[in-house]
Amino acid sequence: MADQPIRVTVWHEHVHEKKNKVVADLYPDGMHAVMKAGIEEYLGSQVKVGTALLEQPEHGLTQEVLDNTDVLTWWGHRAHNEVDDEIVDRVYKRVLEGMGLIVLHSGHYAKIFKKLMGTGCGLKWREAAEKERLWVVNPGHPIVDGLDEYFELEHTEMYGELFDIPTPDELIFISWFEGGEVFRSGCTWTRGKGKVFYFRPGHETFPIYYDKNVRKVLANGVKYVAPRTGSPYSLKAPNIDKPLSPINSTHEVDESLHQH
């Protein structure tokens, strides 16, 4: 990975821009175009960024695309149920194999995030254009490189606890909202060989992905979840009939017990 650019695919639902004038005016070329530009702004030649959309055949996530993706970002909201289960399984397998995944904002309810978390992933919410203050609670983490101890978004949608997720491997941000709620807004997990980063900001009716700090976190997140070398990993459960060392006992196996 050190000698080659990180291959990033920005996946986006691309529904709200077609149905809501506020969103269309904020993101005339689509939210995915602004996310792509934000990653490229901070990482430049370190990345090669493409996009994929729900409306495309196989949602733009063909096996070939995924096999050539090191990091996949995921933003969805209205159309979670329109994502084909076969594509979800395809993405899931690639994460276990080592592809990094960044799930953004309302992607907490995406099929792929729920499958990886194994929980309901529900939360409280309110859209009232209130202030959000994101506190860095893991200041030595690579995802917060270049940030101050907190940053603020002047107008945003509130997400509040309880956030129904498994305990994160790492908690990066905690958000405070003007209305009083708090939220675990930056969390990471490892699944198989792949790293998963959930980052909360990103409501479509506010200019969140133009914010310099949000773009910085997104770029840092790409670098953090990108695959690294490691020990071999198999998605299968092979029968090891030839042991590494001699086994002195004798045993007759009923093969029918192991058939699936």
How many angstroms separate the CA atoms of 131 and 242, rounded? 62
3-state SS, residue 195? strand
pLDDT digits (tens, 9 = 90+) for 27-41: 999 999 999 999 999
Has residue 49 been placed in a domain?
yes
CATH number at residue 88: 3.40.50.880
Domain of residue 75 covers 6-120+185-229
Residue 2 pLDDT greater than 60, yes or no:
no
Has residue 145 been placed in a domain?
no
CB atoms within 10 A of CB 204: 23
Has residue 206 been placed in a domain?
yes
Has residue 107 been placed in a domain?
yes
Has residue 218 been placed in a domain?
yes
Has residue 189 been placed in a domain?
yes
Has residue 176 been placed in a domain?
no
pTM (predicted TM-score): 0.93
Q: How many domains does the chain have?
A: 1
pLDDT digits (tens, 9 = 90+) for 153-170: 999 999 999 999 999 999
Has residue 245 been placed in a domain?
no
Q: Angle at the Cα of 189 (from 188 to 190), degrees rounded to 5?
A: 135
Q: pLDDT class for 138, splitting at 50, 70, 90?
A: very high
Residue 179 pLDDT greater than 60, yes or no:
yes
